[in-house]
Amino acid sequence: MQVHVPAMRGKMGSRTYYSCLMPLNAVPQFFKFTDWSGMLPEDREQRVLVEKRIPELASYITENEDDYLFSSITASYKSEPVFEPYAPDSDIGTLKLQLGDELIINDGQHRCAGIVRALKNGSEALKHHTLSVLLFPWESTDRVQQMFSDLNRFVQKTSKSLDILYDKRDDVAAATLMMIEKVPTFKELTEKEKVSLESKSTKLFTLAALYDANVELLKGYSSNDIPTNAGLLIDYWTEVAKHMPDWGKVLKGQTLAVELRQGKISSHSTVLRALGGLGVDLMASGDWKARLTPLEEIDWSKKNPEWDNICIVANSVVSNRQARAATKAFIKSKLGISLTDGEKNAMTPKVDLKVVSSADLL
């Protein structure tokens, strides 16, 4: 039995290939998912499928059936398909694939696996959506490995900041962007494209860091609409900015952003996320604005020994979960807010122990 799909025939390098449209319900019938985990890397034709990525991709499709988007899948065929042009010598026509033949995925195995999962949970209409597929002849394992390398070697992953800036489906991203426009400090001093600041950058914050801080701040507010949450963010960060004199000096041109970043941690992502988490506790009380005033008295200098083993280890600022929890607890203590047992424990310096021999003790 044959499956007929509309296709175009082209040439890339010395090889003839086909660009065709396949219905999504053809994916589980044609595409080969090989378990490479038991093979040596040099013997595989693909990387090992990461199972935890599949539910996220499937959810992306089923939750956005009207406007999801995928780039083309690239695969290799072992059984030569039949191409019938619509007119003599035309490169546009119909590609006939034999049902039961397997297509080896060169690029897009996770997308295909996500599609297979989505077909089980999605609507009936999803089965008839079409996917763009590029088909090349299978030649050898070496050639397939080279194709994988060529397709992936020069791919540049977009930055988290740019993903947030362009993502219109993420409510926290939308509220964060609305907030930035209304808080002068953030509007002027936020890098919206790059995930980290270059050494000579005139900015203090990244969009990614502010987004992460707002994820913390908006916990428990997921039922609010975007404008309501944006208003909450504007209110909170406007008040915080009033009590962060370092930020104000950079905004007014009294201090260079690079000098502040070099000497202090007040604009670091660890501090921003700590302040975001702190907001959850503060805004539950009626006098939260007044309780932010002690922020002005905190010594944010990297040379301040109080930060050692809180968020500075071996003279470097760290941003792991432990450091964020300890930083939040430290700031809470400076604001005179009682700490939970867990927060007290987070502030307790962790001592690295090493095994010593009896000879070391002599």
- pLDDT for 353 equals 32
- CB 77 within 8 Å of CB 137: yes
State the virtual CA torsion across 334, 274, 293, 299 in degrees, nearest 10.
Answer: 60
Q: Encoding tokens for residue 120?
A: 């089980």
Q: Encoding tokens for residue 106?
A: 């060169």
Measure the CA–CA gap between 52 and 62, rounded to whole angstroms. Answer: 17
Going 272 to 273 to 277 to 280, the CA torsion angle's sign is positive
Secondary structure element (H or E) that encloses residue 284, with its range = none
| Vertex 218 angle, CA 213 and 219, to 5° | 105
Q: pLDDT, tens digit, for every residue of 154-179? A: 777 788 888 888 888 899 999 999 99
- pLDDT for 354 equals 38
- pLDDT for 349 equals 60
- pLDDT for 38 equals 73
- pLDDT for 357 equals 37
- pLDDT for 358 equals 35
| Under-50 pLDDT residues of the chain | 351-362
